[in-house]
Amino acid sequence: MKWITRIHLNLILLAGLIFVIQAYPRNRIALAQQPTGSIPTVTGTPAGALVTVYLDLAQIDIYSGPSSYEYPSIGVLLAGQQVPAYGFSEDGNWIQIYYPGVPDSVAWVYAPYVSISRGAEMPDIESPPTPTPFSTPTIDPTLAAAFIPQVTPTRLPTFTPPASINLPSFADATVNTSRVPMGLIIFALGIIGLLGGMISFLRGR
């Protein structure tokens, strides 16, 4: 029975201690009133059309207009890089893209180098004006003349025709028909000699 009495005594002391603690005044922390109202919710918007550089291309150049001849190159895109697209050029060969760090943050990429996100519909965009060169190079004629040697024309010697050659002319030989031909004289002397020989032979017999 003694242990039951001790338990009751302990419970009474504990209850008295709790009462004293609750009755003792202490500084309370005043909580500031939280503002009321609705917090605006940020909702996302569709990303729109995207173009992706083909992976088999290490990098591609982008230009300030839809031509690699009439407009300068203003940057590059790497393989697999995605950028937002705004629309096609008038001929459909170029795509206007978002590219920060350049005027108006727009550039143009050659359409066969990129793939377009599925289902994307883009309008045709008018080409920007062709940029004018900062300066037109001109050549100072005085400065150019200092590097161009002056060639003095040399007169070719005049051709003097040689003196005419007098070729000798030969007159046709005239045949004197009044003289006896030499052959006929030799033939006659031969006959006379032959006859003389025959006569000498006959006399010797």
Please indicate, yes or no, if residue 174 is contained in any of the structural domains.
no
Is the pLDDT at 179 greater than 80? The verdict is: no
Q: Which domain holds residue 64?
A: 50-116
d(CA 52, CA 118): 11
Distance of CA 136 to the CA centre of its chain: 22
Please indicate, yes or no, if residue 168 is contained in any of the structural domains.
no
Please indicate, yes or no, if residue 57 is contained in any of the structural domains.
yes
Nearest CA to 78 out of 118, 113, 122, 27 is that of 113
Number of domains in the chain: 1
Q: For the chain, what percent of residues have pLDDT higher than 90?
A: 27
Task: Tell which wins on pLDDT, 51 or 169.
Answer: 51
Return the exposure string of 163-202: e unless at least 16 CB atoms fall within 10 Å of the residue's CB, then b.
eeeeeeeeeeeeeeeeeeeeeeeeeeeeeeeeeeeeeeee
Please indicate, yes or no, if residue 129 is contained in any of the structural domains.
no
Task: Output the pTM of the full model.
Answer: 0.45
Please indicate, yes or no, if residue 177 is contained in any of the structural domains.
no
Read off the pLDDT of residues 45-70 as tens digits, 9 standing for 90 and up: 345 789 999 999 889 999 999 998 88
User: Which CATH number belongs to the domain containing residue 63 in this structure?
Assistant: 2.30.30.40
Please indicate, yes or no, if residue 74 is contained in any of the structural domains.
yes
What average pLDDT is seen over the chain? 76
